[in-house]
Amino acid sequence: KFWDLRMNYSKSELIEVGRDLARLNAGYAIKLTENEALKSRVESLEKILSLPGEEKFKMEVARVARRDINAWWQHLIIRKGAAHGIREGYAVIYGGGVVGRVVKANTYTSVVELVSSRGFRMAAHFLCEDRPVIYQGAGSLSFQDARGEVRDVPADLKASTLKPLQLVTSPLAGSFPDGILIGDVIDLTLEPDGIFRSGTVRLPRTLGGVREVAVLIPVSDLMEE
């Protein structure tokens, strides 16, 4: 926009705008340094006083009770339910990343819709990249490999099987904390609109044999109870 600005603003006005931007950048840099210092101070005080850190979720560990062969990549049933504080919509994870979301909470069991299910959809982002994208399960072409789809990816990002991009959860998803692995994006192609890309997400193979999961119960819900 250089020539557009040159035509509409005088040289002195452009210099003044540049100075204002420099002042803002300097102010933001100072604020960032202050925030980092305050964060370090809080962490040191918590350690000295043996105070627990601020936790947003409590993990309720549960064993997988059943998994139907005809719906292997759609849902599974775990051995804990409403009696253990589990509600519909709660996030479910394991050591390899995202498992899915609770869709039905019985008294002592719960049904979990898997991240590979075509009905599963959530906001996500790439590791070290803040811009949000949309993830949706895509089922499986075989009994071994489950996949998902990612859409609304900025056009400047690229991925391949040799250089995949890690897709992780976004705090915008609500029930999930930030940064939990969903899978690896192994290809990205430009959508017809020419603005965004879409691609394939390769989910961890360990998801097919998961035996134990953790349900994330928001601490705010526990406080209400």
Determine which helix (DSSP H) or strand (DSSP E) holds 18, and give its type and residue range.
Answer: helix 11-49
Closest CA to 100 of 172, 164, 169, 178: 169
List, as one string, the DSSP characters of 157-220.
----SSS-EEEEE-GGGSSS-TT-EEEEEEEEEE-TTSSEEEEEEE--GGGGG--EEEEEEEHH
pTM score over 0.85: no
What's the pLDDT tens digit per position in 100-116? 999 999 999 999 999 99
What's the pLDDT tens digit per position in 34-80? 888 888 887 787 677 665 555 788 899 999 999 988 888 999 999 99
55 DSSP 8-state letter: -
Lowest mean pLDDT among 1-5, 11-15, 35-39, 85-89: 1-5
More confident of the two residues 10 and 176 = 176
For the chain, give the mean pLDDT: 87
Region of residue 113 (left: phi > 0; alpha: psi -120 to 50; beta: else): beta
Instruction: Identify whether the C-beta of residue 150 lies closer than 8 Å to the C-beta of residue 186.
Output: no
Question: Given this model, what pLDDT does residue 153 score?
Answer: 93
Q: What's the CA gap between 147 and 124, in Å, rounded?
A: 15
Summarize the confidence of residues 184-202 as an average pLDDT. Answer: 90
What's the pLDDT tens digit per position in 152-175? 999 899 998 899 999 999 988 778
Q: Is the confidence at residue 187, as pLDDT, over 60? A: yes
